[in-house]
Structure 1
């Protein structure tokens, strides 16, 4: 792997391009990312399936297959803080210890996602998150992904809530290979409790069912979700504390007894705090912001994002006085930024 990385980087340099070598691995082996001086392969990044499994299990309640190792909200906090959730502890699904510590690795080494071609395409029906969780949860998954300090990956159509499944299809001509694929799919699904018959990977109808409809971007809640994704990307690019791939200045904590997480991020004097509620019920939380004036720059429950309307979070909070609690709606999230020279960002962006 190290030799491959070196060869790709050399070729990229010859072409005048920056080329990244990213591993698609579920081994949770830090050697893939460790520097060569630490005996690693020094790849530029790798997919972090643990992050996906944390989000998916909490939002859908699924516990079959590899999801039986997930579902505890504290695991998502660990994923934000360290990268790998399984860093050497016992995995019920694998029936052995799994993974190695990754806390020493920068978050920019981890690609995170709430959906991708594997996690959707390797489901028997190819069903997307939109068919498994409510609309507010789709927005929440976008928020935790794009506001994290990691490298976010978006799967085609998730940004507007594509409804078409993404089913596994092939166009092989070898009959034995086709049958081997069919058999392999059936065996893979055995660990899950999915009902019905798996779509035939060789059937053209399987491919046609998987074609996305870009026109949905302009309709109803699909448009609201699309607009939210664009705003989250805009904030990630423009707000210094959200644009850096570092855990320095970051703190992720769970509100005890709840499924709500507070994430603080700071960079170069810029400070933000985001509150995420992964529960299907509202929860009261105390913001515990740092001293000073804080401005709300995004609330997922806003009608602008197809939500039920504000839940009482004020546009400004002056911290340092008596502690106040606010209601965080089911699957909702709220983002605050400390007011300062750039405090007009919310007004300029039309954020609410």
Structure 2
């Protein structure tokens, strides 16, 4: 039951076709420019669709749908809501943007270095146009993929974006559709792919739209957001197609290079072909037809690997899984936090398992969750797991201590970054961590009917056990303004040291074959003494260009002889997080790893050595 589009769309000849899926509505008219005498009746077609094609319409014409000659609503698939969510929609012509020179065809997941950003807080202006001014900075840092938290039209002016109202439209508080395209094109000019986070597990229906969404929610399944989206009951064919076309619109019309599907475990579907499998299959067809690579990442809090298995093995065919298990194990090692779910990660083997296999829990019982968590599988590439030390969810936490650098200090922040960036998995940085940003990422929303902070944290982040009394009221403007990055920190002494440290790590990962190798079977991890973890990375080539990383998670310096754990040297020092150049206070390390003298690592530091011939 494929439809080419929903809403209003111009063809290349300037004709505009309108399509609305509303099987419970008898008649639909289109009202232009709020003129009661300017109404065109749509044709009711098969399966609950209403359609009409008109000529001589101009872009920026306002329109509404008139249901059953009484209820006027904006278009659920609106491409542009310049005046917000409770008013008319605006016709928008995607053909008018000049994409000439945009020959970027995407990146495969195993090459991505992802940077997660929120448009509203990334700059003081909080706009798409302002974000463009930071692209050169990201490119120089070593970032090749920009992941944007939801930019679809949401309720209110300020918010996380996860309460989507118009999933096809760019949020009017961030800028226009063409300004979003300009951001994508400018990113491509610098070799940066753009991934968009989308919310297909929930749909925030405001009162003015409720009558058009009778078929969009199911009666059987419920989630923490309320009724689940209807992917498998009566009229689900139209609902599934609505969201598939939404995904294709972002890829086709905005040249987005990938999508991250949020909270996929709350997408309930008992159909013979799961919605997520159908979505990936359609996007793979789009890839082939357009000679592009469109990466699909999924966020599933159950750590189910079915989503990243190929279709012919019963999977959904996604490229990568958002891996919070790695974060939780790392968070405990860095901070010692045993609140909420983190208490399940207090066992030493959990960090080793996360570094070796990507998951701390691989089919074992989780005491906090009171169930088996994860599954035991090693069949996929390490690049299929996206890992991080910080992200937008993990920085809600307690007051000013949201960021790792505030919770555990400067050296610990560098240590946690090394555990992520030197692993065989796909790394993700959260905006500002590369220069030691300390601003939290509070939960904020200025929409009048937004849920309370307590309700939001209890429903969606109960596992993390946040201290709610230290949180700001989401509707208070300060919850938003204190979440904005302070770019002046980048130019402080500590900021410059941290930034140089990140640039060096990203360069090493990019250039050395062992650090680029995504096969976690070529990564051997062992805890050689309490708090000291050795990670040996092997390249796929047979030239012996090994890399080894020695992590000291202890809060005191350690000494250890390493020759019994390593292939015969020489081993050349390439990076030491405790070095003075990176703001550390460790004793300088020898350039060549000694076979007789123990290595001395400063507290909460790590060192990287390459197995290379000695250069004299």
TM-score normalised by the chain length of structure 1: 0.88
SS, match of residue 380 in structure 2: coil
8 Å CA contact retained: 2:341, 2:463: no
8 Å CA contact retained: 2:586, 2:602: no
8 Å CA contact retained: 1:287, 1:324: no
Give the structure 1 partner of residue 481 of structure 2.
Answer: 208
Give the structure 2 partner of residue 272 of structure 1.
Answer: 547
Deviation at 1:16, TM superposition (A): 3.5
Distance in 2 of aligned mates of 1:141 and 1:260: 14
Deviation at 1:190, TM superposition (A): 8.7
Quick check: 1:66 aligned with 2:338?
A: no
Distance in 2 of aligned mates of 1:264 and 1:198: 41
Distance 1:36 1:185, change over 3 A: same
What do residues 160-194 of structure 1 show as CA deviations (whole Å, max 9, x unaligned)?
11011110112434x2xx13565233565596262
Deviation at 1:40, TM superposition (A): 1.6
8 Å CA contact retained: 1:45, 1:111: yes
Distance in 1 of aligned mates of 2:568 and 2:463: 54
| Residues 175-186 of structure 1 aligned to structure 2 (within 5 Å) | 175=449, 178-179=450-451, 182-186=454-458
Give the structure 2 partner of residue 334 of structure 1.
Answer: 607
Give the structure 1 partner of residue 364 of structure 2.
Answer: 89
| Residues 136-215 of structure 1 aligned to structure 2 (within 5 Å) | 136-173=411-448, 175=449, 178-179=450-451, 182-186=454-458, 188=461, 192=465, 194=467, 196-215=469-488
Give the structure 2 partner of residue 219 of structure 1.
Answer: 492
Q: Judging by fraction of residues, say which structure has more strand.
A: 2
Quick check: 1:317 aligned with 2:589?
A: no
8 Å CA contact retained: 1:292, 1:318: no
Distance in 2 of aligned mates of 1:157 and 1:196: 25
Deviation at 1:324, TM superposition (A): 4.0
Out of 510, 521, 524, the residue aligned to residue 237 of structure 1 is 510
Out of 549, 553, 567, the residue aligned to residue 290 of structure 1 is 567
8 Å CA contact retained: 1:186, 1:198: no
Q: Say how many residue pairs are matched.
A: 334
Quick check: 1:263 aligned with 2:538?
A: no
Distance 1:214 1:197, change over 3 A: closer
Q: Judging by fraction of residues, say which structure has more helix.
A: 1
Distance in 2 of aligned mates of 1:252 and 1:70: 17
TM-score normalised by the chain length of structure 2: 0.52
Distance 1:157 1:325, change over 3 A: same
Distance 1:193 1:209, change over 3 A: closer
Higher relative contact order (CA 8 A, sep 6+): 1
What do residues 316-351 of structure 1 show as CA deviations (whole Å, max 9, x unaligned)?
1365xxx542222111101111123xx66xx9xxxx
What do residues 18-51 of structure 1 show as CA deviations (whole Å, max 9, x unaligned)?
1111011121112122222332222100111111
Give the structure 1 partner of residue 249 of structure 2.
Answer: none
Distance 1:107 1:39, change over 3 A: same
Distance in 1 of aligned mates of 2:498 and 2:348: 24
Deviation at 1:63, TM superposition (A): 0.5
Out of 519, 529, 542, the residue aligned to residue 246 of structure 1 is 519
8 Å CA contact retained: 1:36, 1:42: yes
Quick check: 1:300 aligned with 2:572?
A: no
8 Å CA contact retained: 2:383, 2:424: yes
Structure exhibiting the larger radius of gyration computed from Cα positions: 2
8 Å CA contact retained: 2:442, 2:471: no
SS, match of residue 221 in structure 1: helix
Return structure 1 stretches of 4+ with deviation > 6 angstroms.
Answer: none
Structure 1 stretches lacking a partner, 5+ long: 348-352
Structure 2 stretches lacking a partner, 5+ long: 1-275
